[in-house]
Structure 1
Amino acid sequence: MKILFIIQGEGRGHLTQALSLRQKLIGEGHQIVGVLVGKSPVRRLPDFFFEKIEAPVYLFESPNFLPSAKNKQVNLAKSVIYNVLRSHRYMSGIRYINRMIKETEADVVVNFYELLTGLTYLFFRPKALMVCIAHQYLFLHPDFVFPKESRLSLASLKFFTRITAIGAAKKLALSFRKMCEVPSEGIVVVPPLLRKEVLEVTPTNGDYLHGYLLNSGFSEEIRSWHKAHPAVKLHIFWDKKDVRPEVKVDNHLSFHQLNDTLFVRYMAGAKAYATTAGFESVCEAMYLGKPVLMVPTHIEQACNAYDATLSGAGVVSEQFDLDALLRLSQTHQPNTSFAHWVKQADWLILREFRADVLLEETPSSLWHRLSTGWIYRLGKSLPI
């Protein structure tokens, strides 16, 4: 089949998931005809993605969260105003997505949680079948346990998630553990999409802490902690523009630009891992047996982090409290069942792309079945 990827380009998680799924689909004889990545002007796509995806990459502007003035937490009010003012650009993105689906002659669109893809299917109803894949689709599962957050924030999160999946034939919900399918929602729960580089590396227990900062403003917290603990080695990855590949503060603290090979190598040899609570890297740390400190920057990551604690990943904090991470590293017991779950990913995910499973849905029958259901489900999650 001809498959088109459409990816939400925030952070590294959806990008590395796409790299992993590409490896699996190519191995089954499918063709990746293109990769569309939605990004905002404040983010830069890492070089490794262009090098590894081995398919034409096309960028378009997409709604995104904006960080606070200190480049740490998300500024929700600023993000809403910014995205409303740029709505004309997003309409152009919707038309562009529809045109690219036609021009690539894709049989299947794989949507990695990109909002404009769902709106494209709402307004234009492309012929290609859409499969959505992300951890966020687990938020629509009736058995998913949410943290104690405001009802409005959680309702808004579920509303956003439903919009990304308008017209989807199925939603592959990446999960830390097995959960039942939900046919009424089109939800199929599957293991995380870890790349072969992670699956094949041999972990060791090193003498340094590893980390990833979605927003580079957190680097000041890292520097401050390092001043108080200069003997502890730190290798921290960030997405900061216009800096060298490695910013070496001293012999024990280095900040690295995102590099997938280097990131995995440092993860495999670390004592423990600190992150802004993205799903993908938490899964990588769990698979390699590393305890995790998670510092969410917005409601979505708060849900990721809480879900991860239920599977024994580590602890959640409002700041990069590396003292807590060091204490955790002394008592942490890896979740061995998680590795067995991850190793089932190939057959559980690839079976959903088998022609006899996927293409039994014709576009007309799919829309007939979905049209009476998605409006009702969308309405149920309206944040009011």
Structure 2
Amino acid sequence: MAKFLFVVQGEGRGHLTQALALQDILHNAGHKVVAVLVGKSYRKIPDFFITKMQAPLHYFESPNFVKDSNNRSILIGKTIAYNLLKTRIFLASMRELSAYYQQYQPDVIINFYDLLAGFYNLFHKAPAPMVVVGHQFFLQHPQFEYPQGHKVEKFLLNLNTNLTAHKAKLKLALSFAPYLADFKNIRVVPPLLRKEVLSLTPETQNFILCYVNNDGYGDDIIAWHKQNPDVKLECFWDRKNAPEVEHFSENLTFHQISDTKFLEKMRTCRGVVTTAGFESVCEAMYLGKPVMMVPVEGQFEQSCNALDAQKAGAGIVSKNFNITPFLKYLETYQPTTQMREWVQKAPKMFVESLEKIL
């Protein structure tokens, strides 16, 4: 039995659900997750993660994005400045990481795209080999096709990814589809989907599911709905001080993010309209639900996700939340089983890859 320690970026829901999925895979293979270190975000860590993660949880301060006043787009310049001002705090966080490493003595450290876990390796010798997990490492594959232009954004994304993976022995590159071969220490692997998703039986009811991780986009959905009141929308956001359920009209409802309710709505919807986070798109693809992806403004990584997912047959990409073209797309969409077949290979591929590190 090997001991694994997780370091998880708390900014994105996807990193948290990936950690839960890998926990189950490792436990089923006879291994143990001894601790989970979570880089704190301005977002509340979801209750489902705290409840279902079986290892001790510890939190530390980690870099975060800065958004505009409308909680829509990412401000790259202000993000860099804000995090540089917190250098002393992050140095203290790295000392915390060191103490936890010594306390738990893992055989392998698995980093779910937390920058400080990689930055730590710039200044210290880690007590165990590090493996990094994320779709971001698929973007480093030499055959990955980036959106046209965006030279500065591409440089900054790759800089962040390289620092996050500094001295990593293996990069497990999550991919929407198995269309690229392994390259050097990059191994192309399926998405990590939780058992709660894998156990769902999809059906189709007459509504569109909307999910926005930046609640400012909710106003765009409301504006579209006013022009299209006959289309039923079930939406999820994390707007502060908003009620648990808010009925804007008979056909427009906003819910605070709830794991079980969100998955049930995804199971039964006609299609999904969302920002271009990797995990939500994968869940929709697994359930055979077409997706309209709207990359978060200023987050180049999401533009890459959207282009890659479109290539894999997930759906369409839009610059805004005008849902009308998506309704037309739904008329001709034909689901495939490719994602299901790909995801089913995940347990074997992850266990084989990680056991080779031991």
TM-score grouping bracket, smaller chain normalisation: over 0.9
1:28 aligns to what? 29
2:10 aligns to what? 9
| Mapped partners of 1:255, 1:5: distance in 2 | 33
Q: Deviations over 1:326-363 (max 9, x none)?
A: 11111112233222111111111111122xx112xxxx
2:211 aligns to what? 212
1:146 Cα deviation from its structure 2 partner: 0.7
SS of the residue corresponding to residue 95 of structure 1 reads: helix
1:166 aligns to what? 166
One-letter code aligned to 1:253? L
Instruction: Tell me, yes or no, if the aligned pair for 1:313 and 1:335 is still in contact at 8 Å.
Output: no
SS of the residue corresponding to residue 358 of structure 1 reads: coil
2:76 aligns to what? 76
2:343 aligns to what? 342
| Mapped partners of 1:226, 1:316: distance in 2 | 19
Call closer, same or farther: CA 1:149–1:46 in 2, change over 3 Å: farther
| Mapped partners of 2:315, 2:345: distance in 1 | 23
1:293 aligns to what? 292
| Mapped partners of 1:49, 1:235: distance in 2 | 23
One-letter code aligned to 1:153? E
SS of the residue corresponding to residue 163 of structure 1 reads: helix
SS of the residue corresponding to residue 51 of structure 2 reads: helix
1:152 Cα deviation from its structure 2 partner: 1.6
SS of the residue corresponding to residue 180 of structure 1 reads: coil
Instruction: Tell me, yes or no, if the aligned pair for 2:105 and 2:127 is still in contact at 8 Å.
Output: no
Instruction: Tell me, yes or no, if the aligned pair for 2:306 and 2:317 is still in contact at 8 Å.
Output: yes
Alignment of 1:92-107 (within 5 A): 92-107=92-107
Q: Deviations over 1:182-236 (max 9, x none)?
A: 12xx111000001111111111111111121110011101111111222222111
1:371 aligns to what? none
Bigger mean CA deviation after superposition, 141-150 or 235-244: 235-244
Alignment of 1:274-285 (within 5 A): 274-285=273-284
One-letter code aligned to 1:174? L
User: RMSD over aligned Cα, in angstroms?
Assistant: 1.3
| Mapped partners of 2:119, 2:357: distance in 1 | 22
| Mapped partners of 1:338, 1:326: distance in 2 | 23
One-letter code aligned to 1:175? S
Instruction: Tell me, yes or no, if the aligned pair for 2:236 and 2:256 is still in contact at 8 Å.
Output: yes
SS of the residue corresponding to residue 331 of structure 2 reads: helix
Instruction: Tell me, yes or no, if the aligned pair for 1:66 and 1:79 is still in contact at 8 Å.
Output: yes
Q: Which structure features the higher share of helix residues?
A: 1
SS of the residue corresponding to residue 247 of structure 2 reads: strand
SS of the residue corresponding to residue 188 of structure 1 reads: strand
Instruction: Tell me, yes or no, if the aligned pair for 2:68 and 2:74 is still in contact at 8 Å.
Output: yes
1:244 Cα deviation from its structure 2 partner: 3.0
| Mapped partners of 2:67, 2:229: distance in 1 | 29
Structure 1 vs Structure 2: percent identity of aligned residues?
Answer: 44
1:317 Cα deviation from its structure 2 partner: 1.2
Q: TM-score, normalised by structure 1?
A: 0.89
One-letter code aligned to 1:329? L
One-letter code aligned to 1:145? E
1:29 Cα deviation from its structure 2 partner: 1.6
1:266 aligns to what? 265
1:118 aligns to what? 118
1:108 aligns to what? 108
1:128 aligns to what? 128
Bigger mean CA deviation after superposition, 271-280 or 2-11: 2-11
1:117 Cα deviation from its structure 2 partner: 0.3
1:323 aligns to what? 324
| Mapped partners of 1:142, 1:56: distance in 2 | 38
One-letter code aligned to 1:93? S
1:33 Cα deviation from its structure 2 partner: 1.3
Instruction: Tell me, yes or no, if the aligned pair for 1:5 and 1:112 is still in contact at 8 Å.
Output: yes
| Mapped partners of 1:12, 1:256: distance in 2 | 16
One-letter code aligned to 2:196? E
| Mapped partners of 2:243, 2:59: distance in 1 | 24
One-letter code aligned to 1:92? A
| Mapped partners of 2:149, 2:91: distance in 1 | 32
1:304 aligns to what? 305
1:158 Cα deviation from its structure 2 partner: 1.1
Give 5+ residue unaligned stretches, structure 2.
none
One-letter code aligned to 2:303? A
One-letter code aligned to 1:169? K
2:246 aligns to what? 247
Q: TM-score, normalised by structure 2?
A: 0.96
Q: Deviations over 1:107-162 (max 9, x none)?
A: 11110000000011221111111110000001111111111131121121111111
Instruction: Tell me, yes or no, if the aligned pair for 1:44 and 1:239 is still in contact at 8 Å.
Output: no
**Structure 2 residue 152 is the aligned partner of structure 1 residue 152:** yes
